Amino acid sequence: MKLVFATHNPNKLKEVKLLLPKHIKLVSLTDIGCNKEIPETAATLEGNAQLKADFVTEHYGYPCFADDTGLLVEALNGAPGVHTARYAGEQKNALDNIDKLLGQLKNEANREAQFKTVIALNLEGQRQLFIGTVKGVITERMQGTKGFGYDPIFKPNGHNGTFAELPLTTKNKISHRGIAIQKLITHLKK
């Protein structure tokens, strides 16, 4: 089965390819000739994921899934939330986002946070949502070189290192995206 993952992010594509069964040929937006940045104008992660999946299905005719992920920091009332990727501006620069977040938490004792991923699947005329969350804390400085985005400052509960310090196989088992993808895989196997 050929399935489009509505992303241009090669890191996300790599992570997800490792998780999917081999009989599913996963392709990206670039692979189907979609070079547009699909607008994320919804007020929720669920809404943005569905907007992206619907765009691909409507304009390209492929079965598709899309995700939207938010980092929800307790001391910031759930921010950056739906604005996670563009927290420091439209340039979507991970280091700028990290710097802004660490600056806002500089004198904050409560560093609890959670990552939430929502996957919207459009397949055979049906729409499904799959949600994964992982709780943890925001570290005071960047640690580790693996991963992407906020991985160097997010330490999941029960682990001594940040996502950027954990092996990819470990991260995929415990991460918000990994949990949501496992729910998607279970659904695809039915």
Q: Is 22 exposed, middle or buried (0-12, 13-18, 19+ CB in 10 A)?
A: exposed
DSSP reduced 3-state for 133: strand
Helices assigned H by DSSP within the chain = 10-19, 45-60, 94-104, 168-174, 176-188
From the candidates 31, 54, 67, 68, give the one annotated as an active-site residue. Answer: 68
Examine the residue annotation and report whether 68 is marked as an active-site residue of this protein: yes
DSSP reduced 3-state for 105: coil
DSSP reduced 3-state for 144: coil
Active site residues: 68
